[in-house]
Amino acid sequence: MTLKNLNIDKSWSLFLDRDGVINKKLDNDYVKHWMEFEFIEGTFEALKILGGKFGSIVVVTNQQGIAKGIYRTEDLELIHKNMLYELSYAGGRIDKVYFSPHLHSENHLTRKPGTGMALQAKKDFPIIDFSKSIIVGDSMSDMEFGRALGMKTVFISEKPVADSRIDFSFMSLIEFSIALA
């Protein structure tokens, strides 16, 4: 199956992980302040392309640094406000950001691979149909999240990864968006 065979139109929804997909991950650390947030090259152009293809685009991101006391919810909300502003200013679009502040060890429903953030998104955007949705992420928990909901999965990685949970693999969000164009 190719991406073109999916016939993606405005009835489709796109779920994006944040760290490693939209912005650069920090080695053994968390993005705690806007000054530490760095967009991955091509993200602005990618979200311009994707905004024209998908009816809804949401970010779903695990943020256990909040539960660890490393940064506050207010810090994260400021990062997201600035991220959305910059993307919008560049002509891209993200409709809403969902985050789970819970520790990995809590196995909270909202923490990926749990499906709570997607269920909240569906409540906020009733047009979302998980069978017509794609999750783009850089971890297996993102792929498991998508699989649990019946989504197509796109894995972002610099090296090829063979895993049955992955439908498509690309090196970056811009590479994925160009493949859809």
Task: Tell me the per-residue pLDDT of 146-169, one tens digit each, with 9 for 90 and over.
Answer: 999 999 999 999 998 999 999 999
3-state secondary structure of 180: helix
Instruction: Name the active-site residue from 17, 75, 142, 167.
Output: 17
> What is the topology classification, in CATH, of domain 3-180?
Rossmann fold (3.40.50)
Whole-structure pTM value: 0.97
What per-residue confidence (pLDDT) applies to 1?
67
3-state secondary structure of 98: strand
What per-residue confidence (pLDDT) applies to 53?
96
3-state secondary structure of 39: strand
CA distance 170 to 167: 10
* Catalytic (active site) residue 19: yes
Domain positions in the chain: 3-180
Instruction: Name the active-site residue from 19, 75, 142, 167.
Output: 19
Name the DSSP letter for residue 21: T
Q: What is the pLDDT of residues 119-130, one digit of tens each?
A: 999 999 999 999
From 100, 102, 109, 82, select the one nearest 23 (Cα to Cα).
Answer: 82
* Catalytic (active site) residue 17: yes
The answer on pLDDT for 74 being more than 90 is: yes
